[in-house]
Structure 1
Amino acid sequence: MTAHIIASAAEALAIAEDLRRYLEAGAAGRDRNPAPPLAELDHLSASGILGITVPRAYGGAEVSYETLSRVFQLLAAGDPAVTQMTQSHYLFLDAVRQDGSPEQQAFFFGKVLKGARLGNAQAEKGGGSALNLGTRLLPDGAGGYRLNGTKFYCTGALLAHWLPVAAFDEQERFVLVFVPRDALGVTVSDDWDAMGQRVAYSGTAIFEDVAVAPLQVIPHWRLFERIGVFHPYGQQLHTAIGVGIAQNALADAVATVRGRSRPRLGAPVAKATEDPHVILRFGQLATQFHAAELLLRRAGQALDDASANLTAESAGAAAVAVAEAKAYAEDVALAIASDIFSLSGTSSTERALNFDRHWRNIRTHSVHDANHWRYHVAGDYLLNGTLPGKPVRKLRPAEPATLPA
């Protein structure tokens, strides 16, 4: 596989806008008749957009968090389900940057710049907490390892080239195991069957005695032993998906009302666009959308600022900024995706338009985690100066889970 190499933030944003239009053209049809979006993901790979966070020392553009937030919003405005399949790609590429050895960085950055996609195999069902994992990476006695476990909600895994798998090693340390998608013993199912984000294909992945070389193991436990913004960064990408959904839904609502030849019954005006109640609500929704967009950019800048000067306070402030942006983006996207129908009239409910996908997408995506806790994080920081805690990956009696950062 070959891919274009993007050289700058400006080029990344221009290509992201082209990709937005490309994805948007088929989004409604893909939602109506879901199928694994291989052609779309291959198009993203070839564009070079998946390599824009690779450090300059390894040939990438090394764009900022703020730039990537804008890129991700544009992609999600095109198709949030396809875009969500790449969320873990960017996140775990950052894990390689932070904790990979020079050999690992050269290997995986080189693969990504040629178009390789990273998937996701993190979550598990059962147990007393989502933070506990049963997947194990154990020595094979010959200098390598064997991986065993079952994962759920593996967004992006079906069409990825490499799967970062969360596991514990023989010392009960948290590691990321980068496994080739086509490795012997790897099974990825297309059993995703949600009402929204239909082509995200967040299905099941099973790893049965998979052979693993040392090069494939990232010592991810180090992440939990230092100050950082890795977890808020992951949440920031989810925030951008919400803002992207809001952007696309608002654009559809505007186009639909502009295309109507008559106002709603009872409005003493000649055109739908002159209805004072419609104008008022569009003004409210536009204001809320732009506020969500600015909160997303503010959070991205906070991540950049914290990365440049990492302290507990700067990292905590960035996590709070992301929490505020994510909570608000969800609320705004849900409002726009719902009001598109009351503003546009009965014709907007036609199945051919498939406008309900906006609400189904944001509602499905929003239950990724508890949105109220995001507001709680912001309120606790404002009132009490409480810094958000980092999540832990294994619970012990002496280590209660902290609130998610």
Structure 2
Amino acid sequence: MTHEEDAVPHEEDAVQIAARFAAGLARGAAERDRDRILPHAEVGRMSAAGLFSLTVPRRFGGPDVGVPSLVEVFRLIAQADPSIAQIPHSHYVFLEALRLQGTEAQQRRFFREVLAGRRLANAQSERGSRTIAEDTTTLTPVGAGGYVLDGEKFYATGSLFADWLAVRAVLPGAERAKAVAFVPANAPGVTIVDDWDGLGQRTTGSGTVRLAGVAVPADAVVPYTPIFARPTSYGAFAQVLHAALDAGIARAALDVAVEHVKRARPWFESGADRAAGDPLLVQQAGEAEITVRAAEALLREAAHAVDVARTDPTEDSTAHASVATAVAKVATARAAVDASSALFELAGTRSALDALNLSRFWRDARTHTLHDPGRWKVQHIGRWLLDRTPPPRHGLL
């Protein structure tokens, strides 16, 4: 793939640019979901708007946008179309791995690629391993400083729209250390299969990536395991962006519910002239707004904590960021599922018509919130509260 060099917004402009982009995105979201129309054009426009280059450090020519602004960008795009908002998630997460572990030469090379409009996608999760934390994909050394990459990945979100794949793989040795190989999406031996058939998040391009004897030069391999050998905000950074997606879904579902209430008939026992005059419906709407607004506030708090820890990663700052993000992730996940379900009760029987495709909010919420279990986040929150037990260091907290 080739791209023209894209605009790089200043930090103060990033949220406004995202809001304008999202406004146009929302109009076709229902149709894209219903007919599974892959958003190649929309992702291209997102690149052209500079929305894939926001965290490139200033010393490499980027805007180095802070976490609160980046989170709001994700939330706004998810409010318009959560499938499209999920596509840049792994792009930014693996740029963070590059920032933390890449050499100066690697950073210069790949950050410049991003500034030129190139996009990354993940190839990390596998279906055949005992847990999601275990990889069988391998980087085998060959010759003088090169590797061969073999394996198969699933849930490779954004891979259909990517120029580069960030492939998590195991290095030889008893310690089973992991690394990230940056591989061109069209490299010999790479096969990207469009086989994602989830009930929600239908146009994320999250299919299978097969890797068969892919040649990888040593300067395209970045250590991954060492990220977690010291205090780090890497996991919280990844998770707070996921929380932003859920918060966007929650707000979108509630906004749509309000629009449909305006056209709904009142329940005859209420004595009201319009649905919005039914006191029981008003109560339910108020409860939904409290849930969504609380989740949005917790998301902002977490984004600030991650920003602090990212700037100064100490034991205390990173633990605080992980806990704050876990709280926000649980709250936004609940808000997304609850609001997208309440939508139907608020909007009435007509909302179940398939032609309206209002089920997409619940389907997107239910699918995305399965990404990692909230029950374990609640455990870490409780342990921190009771004993100040620091959360574990991994990419999901």
- Relative to the length of structure 2, the TM-score reads 0.96
SS in 1 for 2:150: strand
1:122 is the counterpart of 2:139: no
Letter in 1 for 2:267: R
| 1:50 counterpart (45, 49, 52) | 52
1:286 aligns with 2:289: yes
2:342 alignment partner in structure 1: 339
- Is residue 29 from structure 1 mapped to residue 18 from structure 2 by the alignment? no
Alignment of 1:145 onto 2:154: no
Report the 3-state secondary structure (helix = DSSP H, G, I; strand = E; otherwise coil) of the residue aligned with 1:243. Answer: helix
- Does the aligned pair in 1 maintain the 2:183–2:220 contact within 8 Å? yes
Counterpart of 2:197 in structure 1: which amino acid?
Answer: D
Q: How does 1:253-272 map to 2 (within 5 A)?
A: 253-260=257-264, 262-272=265-275
The AA in structure 2 aligned to 1:378 is: I
How far apart, in 1, do the equivalents of 2:23 and 2:5 lie? 20
Q: Which residue of 2 aligns with 1:189?
A: 193
Deviation at 1:128, TM superposition (A): 2.5
Residue in 1 that maps onto 2:69: 67
Amino acid of the residue matched to residue 182 of structure 1? N
Q: Work out the CA distance in 2 between the residues paired with 1:321 and 1:51.
A: 26
Q: Is the 8 A contact 1:334 1:363 kept in 2?
A: yes
The separation in 1 between residues aligned to 2:130 and 2:9, in whole angstroms, is 46
Letter in 2 for 1:36: L
Amino acid corresponding to residue 357 of structure 1 in structure 2: R
Q: Following the alignment from structure 1 to structure 2, what is the Cα–Cα distance between the partners of residues 11 and 391?
A: 32
CA distance in structure 2 between the aligned counterparts of 1:102 and 1:333, rounded to whole angstroms: 40
Verify: 1:352 aligned to 2:355, yes or no: yes
* Deviation string, structure 1 residues 261-297 (Cα, Å, up to 9, x no partner): x312222111112111121111111121111111111
Q: Provide the residue aligned with 1:38 in structure 2.
A: 40
Deviations 1:298-323 (A, max 9, x none): 00000112223321121111100000
**1:170 and 1:270 mapped to 2: Cα distance?**
72
Q: Which residue of 1 aligns with 2:247?
A: 243
Secondary structure of 2:123 counterpart? coil
Q: Which residue of 1 is the match for residue 209 of structure 2?
A: 205
Determine if the alignment matches structure 1 residue 230 to structure 2 residue 234. Answer: yes
Distance in structure 2 (CA, Å) of the matches to 1:26 and 1:123: 30
Cα contact 2:380–2:391 (8 A) shared by 1: yes
Structure 1 residue 245: deviation in Å?
0.4
The one-letter code matched in structure 1 to 2:121 is G
Cα distance in 2 for residues equivalent to 1:253 and 1:200: 25
How far off its partner does 1:52 sit?
A: 0.7
Number of the residue aligned with 2:7: 5
Q: Which moved more, 1:215-224 or 1:89-98?
A: 215-224
Secondary structure of the structure 1 residue equivalent to 2:187:
coil
C-alpha RMSD of matched pairs (Å): 1.3
Residue 388, structure 1, aligned to residue 385, structure 2: no
**Which sits farther off after the overlay, 123-132 or 78-87?**
123-132
Partner Cα distance (1:162, 1:359) in 2: 31
Q: How far 1:126 moved relative to its partner?
A: 2.2
Separation in 2 of the partners of 1:76 and 1:308?
Answer: 26
What is the total number of aligned residue pairs between the two structures?
A: 393
- 2:315 and 2:267 map into 1 onto residues whose CA distance is 54
- Asked if the contact 1:239–1:326 (Cα under 8 Å) also holds between the matched residues in 2, the reply is yes
Query: Does the 8 A contact of 2:232 with 2:393 survive in 1?
Result: no
**Are the aligned partners of 1:327 and 1:375 in contact in 2 as well (CA < 8 Å)?**
yes
Q: Which amino acid aligns with 1:285?
A: A
1:122–1:152 Cα contact (<8 Å) kept: yes
For 2:138, the equivalent position in structure 1 comes to: 136
2:276 counterpart letter in structure 1:
T
Q: Which moved more, 1:130-139 or 1:359-368?
A: 130-139
**Contact in 2 for aligned 1:299/1:321 (Cα 8 Å):** yes
3-state SS of 1:352 partner? helix
Partner of 1:396: none
Unaligned runs of 5+ in 1: 393-403
Aligned to 1:177: 181
- Rounded to whole Å, the distance in 1 between the matches of 2:102 and 2:195 is 32
Query: What letter corresponds to residue 209 of structure 2 in structure 1?
Result: A
Q: Give CA deviations for 1:317-371 in whole Å, capped at 9, x if unaligned.
A: 1100000000011111111100111111111111121110100111011111111
Aligned partners of 2:129 and 2:97: how far apart in 1? 26
CA distance in 1, matches of 2:303, 2:312: 15
> Residue 302 of structure 2 aligns to a residue in which SS?
helix
The answer to whether structure 1 residue 85 and structure 2 residue 87 are counterparts is yes
Q: What residue in structure 2 maps to residue 395 of structure 1?
A: none
1:173 shift after superposition: 2.4
Q: TM-score, normalised by structure 1?
A: 0.94
The equivalent of 1:398 in structure 2 is none
- 1:388 Cα shift? 0.5
Inter-partner Cα distance in structure 2 for 1:17 and 1:3: 22
Cα distance, 1:3 vs. partner?
4.2
